[in-house]
Amino acid sequence: MASNKRMKGVSVTLPVYTYNFATPLTGKKANDSDHTHKWTVGFKGFHGDLSFCIKKVVFRLHDTYANPVRTIEEPPFELHETGWGEFEVLVKVYFHPSANEKAAQLYHHIRLHPYQDDPSGGPWPKDKPVTCFLYDELVFNEPTEVFYQILADNNVAGSSGLPLRKYTGKDYALPPFSVQMEQEELDRLEKAQREVNQQILQLRQRKLALEQEKIN
Ligand code: SLL
């Protein structure tokens, strides 16, 4: 029978991401206030609906908002707003009491503007949402037996839930993260490490040669 005893040496990682989508306001809405964009900010995992372990998500907006603290108690854990500037949102994730876990704090930078041309080469289309996805992980160190069982029942223990292949479709609302993307990043890091090691070796040899020259 699972209990509230903590599982020594066990750690479970839940990959998650925060996101935002933004589009410029048009027509009357744009003229009636100094707000320039409508946007959505949210929090999700890769294992589908996370309400089995998450009780609520609190988004703390910039102090220029009248009520900066917004609580979302049900999935999708997302919030729709309008505004004029980019800023960092504090995303506080609260777990069900049965999890016996402290709230987790993540940060998401709300992006409103495209900082690059469209991947097709032309300027960013006016009505195309600007998106920002940030990957993060919730790590449960020594979870209670009860919580571990809940995580296992929802396929979290032992699987990252990340899609295997890179996402190449057109749905702007889907995050780009995948096992393939992670592997490509690891390959890039390994290649860079090899190059740096090579340069260190060459510099050492050069230093040695110069020292020899000095002695002779
Ligand atoms: C900036 N550092 O200066 C940022 C702050 C704050 C954005 C951006 C508030 C909307 C409202 C709003 O959009 N704040 O007034 O209700 O760009």
Compute, in angstroms, the gap from residue 5 CA to the centroid of ligand 1. 46
Q: Identify the residue whose C-alpha is closest to ligand 1 atom 17.
A: 85
Using pLDDT thresholds of 50, 70 and 90, give the confidence band for residue 42.
very high
Does the predicted model carry a pTM greater than 0.95? no
**Could you report the per-residue pLDDT of 58-77, keeping only the tens digit for each?**
999 999 999 999 999 999 99
CA distance 130 to 22: 5
Compute, in angstroms, the gap from residue 92 CA to the centroid of ligand 1. 20
Residue-level pLDDT at 8: 95
Bond from prior residue into 76 cis (ω within 30 degrees of 0): yes
Residue-level pLDDT at 118: 75
Q: Is 87 in the pocket of ligand 1 (CB under 6 A)?
A: yes
Compute, in angstroms, the gap from residue 129 CA to the centroid of ligand 1. 19
Tell me the average pLDDT across 114-136. 86
Contact 128, 118 (CB under 8 A): yes
Q: Is the pLDDT of residue 79 over 80?
A: yes
Q: Is 33 in the pocket of ligand 1 (CB under 6 A)?
A: no
Query: Which residue has tokens 């037996």?
Result: 145
Using pLDDT thresholds of 50, 70 and 90, give the confidence band for residue 82.
very high
Determine whether 69 is exposed, middle or buried from the number of CB atoms within 10 Å of its CB (0-12, 13-18, 19+).
exposed
User: Which run of H or of E encompasses 182?
Assistant: helix 179-215
Q: Is 68 in the pocket of ligand 1 (CB under 6 A)?
A: no
The fold adopted by the segment(s) 11-177 is Immunoglobulin-like (2.60.40)
- E strands, 65-205, are 69-72, 77-83, 88-95, 104-109, 130-141
CA distance 132 to 109: 8
CA distance 45 to 50: 7
How much of the chain, in percent, has pLDDT values that exceed 90? 75
Q: Is the pLDDT of residue 21 over 90?
A: yes
Compute, in angstroms, the gap from residue 161 CA to the centroid of ligand 1. 35
- E strands, the chain, are 11-24, 37-45, 54-60, 69-72, 77-83, 88-95, 104-109, 130-141
Residue-level pLDDT at 103: 98
Report domain extents, the chain: 11-177
CA distance 17 to 101: 19
**Could you report the per-residue pLDDT of 153-206, keeping only the tens digit for each?**
998 887 778 888 887 777 888 998 999 999 999 999 999 999 999 999 999 999
